[in-house]
Structure 1
Amino acid sequence: MKKVLLTILILFALIVQADFLDDSHNWNNGSSGSFKSVIKAAETDYKVNLAANMAWRDTEKMIKKAKRLYKAGKNAAAISLANKAHKQIINAIAQTELAKTAGPRF
């Protein structure tokens, strides 16, 4: 009886959580909405890094390559590369914050 109740509760929890996904994403064809949002966030944050002179070397190349892959119709590869570029940008922002306090500690 406990196994049946636990199974029902797990299924109920999964069904309830399924409604929290946004409607713009279509899991069947890899929608472009996620690529556009990731690449926009990457470009915006990259400009912040450039202004602080803390942009990493390959990030701009990754953003350009992701755009080329998207135009070529390789959506999954473009989204993956855009996510990697955005992760690099987030790490560069964190490095910028650490660099502000860098120096000898006595």
Structure 2
Amino acid sequence: MKKILITALSVFALTAQANFLGASHDWNNGSSDPFKSAISAAETGYKANLAVNMAWRDTGKMIKDAKKLNAAGKTAAAVKLANAAHHQTVQATAQVDAALTAGPRF
């Protein structure tokens, strides 16, 4: 369980750092498209959350809806929704740490 948790946290740390770079330094997907970066981070985080059985209920739906918005030409809304999905994956990872230490405190 510790190996999975460490792997998941490492993936999130790397994806979170990638979002702080400017578009000219976007080495994640070889493109300066903000939607591709946002959706890639959200999907990576969601897959890691699924691996440790701590994915949130709406994250997968948000990713699908963001893809639909992007296909419809509403890129700004799609990026906003993809970033919200990525934020949920980061929060779900934080919840993993809290769940590991959950229990009665005497």
One fold, TM greater than 0.5?
yes
What is residue 68 of structure 2 aligned with on the other side?
Answer: 68
| Structure 1 unaligned regions, length at least 5 | 1-19, 26-30
Q: Is the 8 A contact 1:32 1:75 kept in 2?
A: no
SS of residue in 1 equivalent to 2:33 = helix
Question: Between the two proteins, what is the percent identity of the paired residues?
Answer: 62
TM-score by length of 1: 0.70
- Superposed, 1:44-59 pairs within 5 Å as 44-59=44-59
Shift of 1:23: 3.2
Cα pair 1:39 1:82 within 8 Å, conserved: yes
Structure 2 distance, partners of 1:53, 1:23, is 35
- What RMSD in Å do the two structures reach over aligned CA positions? 2.1
The one-letter code of the counterpart of 1:45 is: G
Aligned residues of 2:55 and 2:89 also touching (Cα < 8 A): yes
Cα distance between partner residues in 2 of 1:54 and 1:103: 17
**How many angstroms apart in 2 are the aligned matches of 1:72 and 1:47?**
25
Which residues of 2 match residues 7-18 of structure 1 at below 5 A?
Answer: none
Alignment deviations for residues 72-98 of structure 1 (CA, whole Å, 9 cap, x no partner): 100000000001111111111101111
Match of 2:24 in 1: 23
- Cα deviation for residue 22 of structure 1 reads 3.7
The one-character-per-residue Cα deviations of 1:41-86 (angstroms, maximum 9, x if unpaired) are 1101101100111100000000000000001100000000001111
**Divergent runs of 4+, >3 A:** 20-25
